[in-house]
Structure 1
Amino acid sequence: MTTTLSRVSVRQWSLAGLAFCIVMMAVALGLEHLGGFEPCPLCIFQRIAVLSAALVFAVAAIHNPKGRLGAGVYGSLSLAAVLGGIGIVSRHLWLQSLPADEVPTCGPGLDYMMEIMPLQEVLATVFTGSGECAEIDFMLLGISLPGWTLLGFLLLMLAPLGMLLRVVVRPYIYRWQG
């Protein structure tokens, strides 16, 4: 199994990851524009994480490095973007799990904060959380949107792990076969 997975090229892993990022963004934008769900600040940062991973996957697919270094760099960068998304969505899920009396009060909108505050304060405020991030607007099969987003990030993580698998496993396979 690992020999088969390690034969998948960086381009193939990147295209798979990029396609999944496009699906994640299509669902998010569809829910916003067709479903009428307004994204909270943490949702917006989750989208930024998806777009960051998509950018790395796109560059990796175009470059298609053959060596271990390129696979390692692209795998690490895309894994960092995905792990960042997992961290953000985990915070979102934590806020949603709080009892109503412990939920932070709603703050100003992200657009307003970006206009009047320095970026560092905006990030600190967003990650502290607000009441709007704790609201559960939609559930499917008993799972909230951030729960589905977490599942999406976990599936998306397979692409960078596949690239990193090439770096770690592939050299040993060739030694065993040689």
Structure 2
Amino acid sequence: MIDDLRRLSVREWSLAGLAFCVLMMAVALGLEHVVGLAPCPLCIFQRVAVLAAAGVFLVAALHDPAGRAGAVIYALLSLAAVGSGIVVAGRHLWLQSLPADQVPSCGPGLGYMLEILPLQQVLAQVLSGSGECAEISFRLLGISLPGWTLAGFLILALAPVGLLLAANRPRRGYRWQG
């Protein structure tokens, strides 16, 4: 099995990463529109991280770089997007673990903040957390949604690692003439 994973191309790893991003977004949108769970600002930031990773994987799959440098660049860009998702999901879990008396008060909505504040201030305020982000409105097998999202990001991190593996071996169909 490991040998099979090592043989995957940049395009195949990118398509696998893209497919997992689509799955993560389908679950998020299903929970929002079918189950009725409204996303908090940290949930929205996690979705942005998934979409950023999906964008990198899509471009990487379409480009399918022949050289090592292209695969490494796509791996690093996708790893940055996935890593930011891991950080935000971890922050979200930390907020949910706080005792009730230490939870920050609820702030204004994300849409309102984006209208009146500069982006840097919005990012700082959202990442500092609010009461609505600390609320646990849904659990599956005893794990809250940010916990499942963190697990999803950790699984998704395998795709950039796979891109790095693909970058370090000769491309299929090409033969070194040295």
TM-score (norm 2): 0.92
- Partner of residue 109, structure 1: 109
- Partner of residue 12, structure 1: 12
User: How big is the shift at 1:166?
Assistant: 2.4
Paired with 1:44 and 1:83, the residues of 2 have a C-alpha distance of 16
User: How big is the shift at 1:9?
Assistant: 0.4
1:30-109 matches, cutoff 5 A:
30-109=30-109
1:137-176 matches, cutoff 5 A:
137-168=137-168, 170=169
Paired with 1:41 and 1:112, the residues of 2 have a C-alpha distance of 11
3-state SS in 2 of match to 1:112: helix
TM-aligned CA distance change 1:2 to 1:67, over 3 Å: farther
TM-score (norm 1): 0.92
Paired with 2:4 and 2:26, the residues of 1 have a C-alpha distance of 31
- Partner of residue 21, structure 1: 21
1:122-141 matches, cutoff 5 A:
122-141=122-141
Letter in 1 for 2:131: G
User: How big is the shift at 1:116?
Assistant: 1.1
User: How big is the shift at 1:118?
Assistant: 1.0
Q: Is the 8 A contact 2:10 2:167 kept in 1?
A: no
Letter in 1 for 2:18: L
Paired with 1:4 and 1:67, the residues of 2 have a C-alpha distance of 21
Paired with 1:84 and 1:48, the residues of 2 have a C-alpha distance of 10
Q: RMSD across aligned C-alpha pairs, in angstroms?
A: 1.2
Letter in 2 for 1:129: G
Structure 2: tracts of 5 or more residues without a match: 171-178
Q: Number of matched residues?
A: 170
3-state SS in 1 of match to 2:35: coil
Q: Percent identity?
A: 71
Structure 1: tracts of 5 or more residues without a match: 172-178
User: How big is the shift at 1:167?
Assistant: 2.9
User: How big is the shift at 1:32?
Assistant: 0.5
Letter in 1 for 2:100: A
Q: Is the 8 A contact 2:85 2:153 kept in 1?
A: yes
Give CA deviations for 1:9-32 in whole Å, capped at 9, x if unaligned.
000000010010001001001101
